């Protein structure tokens, strides 16, 4: 199973020439996130590992800043740990076993602590909104998923 953090990088291709590689996170992120979803997906794949990490970290940090007051200290710590994990190295050498193992552990911590929707909202650019109305079936699926991944 591809992790939230690396899945998007593996699946995407395209061109994103106008973002300099040494830019600040806010400028690169703001320009990037304004793109239509299809263009965003294509262009993320062309970033250098440093820019991928910078943009992904900015996305997660902004999610954390927005939701910090509703999170426990433990949840905040887990999100901060995941943000620290997002480095250029994980994009430059994504298939290294130690990176994959650590990624899986962090993803599991995020899912179990925040729930699948919030974990995705924090680290996936085009994730469905975590506060979107859920059907009874999607709620049951989320509960069963949480139980099998976190409680057992």
Residue showing tokens 């069963």: 144
Contacting residues for 142 by C-beta, under 8 A, at least 6 apart: 115, 116, 117, 134
Contacting residues for 86 by C-beta, under 8 A, at least 6 apart: 5, 53, 56, 57, 60, 123
The pLDDT tens digits of the residues spanning 133-144 come to: 666 665 566 655
Higher pLDDT, 150 or 6: 150
Residues in the chain: 152
Quickly state the pLDDT bin for 14 (edges 50, 70, 90). very low
The pLDDT tens digits of the residues spanning 52-67 come to: 999 999 999 999 999 9
Note whether 11 and 42 are within 8 A (CB).
no
């Amino acid at each position: 199973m591809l992790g939230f953090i690396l899945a998007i990088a593996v699946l995407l291709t395209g061109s994103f020439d106008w973002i300099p590689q040494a830019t600040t996170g806010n400028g690169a992120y703001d320009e990037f996130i304004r793109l239509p979803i299809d263009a965003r997906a294509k262009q993320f794949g062309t970033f250098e590992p440093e820019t991928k990490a910078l943009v992904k970290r900015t996305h997660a940090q902004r999610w954390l800043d927005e939701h910090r007051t509703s999170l426990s200290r433990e949840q905040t710590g887990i999100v901060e740990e995941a943000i620290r994990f997002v480095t250029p190295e994980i994009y430059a050498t994504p298939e290294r076993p130690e990176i994959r193992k650590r990624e899986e552990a962090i993803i599991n911590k995020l899912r179990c602590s925040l729930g699948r929707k919030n974990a995705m909202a924090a680290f996936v650019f085009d994730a469905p909104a975590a506060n979107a109305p859920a059907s009874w079936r999607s709620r049951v699926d989320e509960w069963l998923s949480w139980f099998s991944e976190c409680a057992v």
